[in-house]
């Protein structure tokens, strides 16, 4: 093998080793999704916050934690990073769903609503 071919092969392999991590840096993902506070009394508010990277479509779904069947509510076209203030009346599960064209990711948070004795 000539010196030029060996040298070019090393540069090619080095370029692959350097380029591979860059694809992961741009990978679409949910960085964080939180509900604060996780326990509230009836009438109190909850702040939902999220941060995503590379996502094209974000949707928030929520329903009573005890009975999600046919009780889902939706909010679409959310920004890649943002927050919403909600006032749950009962225990509620919130699900953030994100799509990037190649797949999707979900994150969830449950908020408990306590009654004052």
Q: How confident is the model at residue 8 (pLDDT cuts 50, 70, 90)?
A: very low
Cα–Cα distance for residue pair 106/80, rounded to 1 Å:
13
Under CATH, to which class is 28-114 assigned?
A: mainly beta
Cα–Cα distance for residue pair 62/84, rounded to 1 Å:
12
Domain layout of the chain by residue ranges = 28-114
pLDDT, tens digit (0-9, with 9 covering 90-100), for 12-43 = 434 433 433 333 445 678 999 999 999 999 99
Cα–Cα distance for residue pair 62/1, rounded to 1 Å:
64
CA dihedral over 20, 22, 23, 25, signed as positive or negative: positive
Cα–Cα distance for residue pair 73/95, rounded to 1 Å:
10
pLDDT, tens digit (0-9, with 9 covering 90-100), for 62-103 = 999 988 788 899 999 899 999 999 999 999 999 999 988 778
Q: Give me the DSSP letters along 55-74.
A: -SEEEEEEEETT--TT--EE
């Amino acid at each position: 093998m000539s010196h030029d071919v060996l040298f070019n092969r090393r540069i090619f392999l080095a370029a692959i080793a350097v380029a591979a991590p860059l694809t992961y840096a741009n990978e679409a993902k949910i960085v964080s999704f939180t509900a604060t506070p996780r326990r509230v009394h009836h009438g109190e508010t909850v702040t939902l916050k999220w941060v995503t990277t590379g996502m094209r479509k974000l949707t928030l779904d929520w329903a009573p934690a005890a009975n999600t069947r046919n009780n889902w509510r939706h909010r679409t076209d959310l920004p890649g990073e943002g927050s919403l203030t909600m006032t749950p009346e009962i225990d509620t599960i919130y699900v953030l769903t994100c799509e990037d064209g190649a797949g999707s990711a979900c994150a969830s948070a449950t908020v408990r609503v306590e009654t004052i004795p």
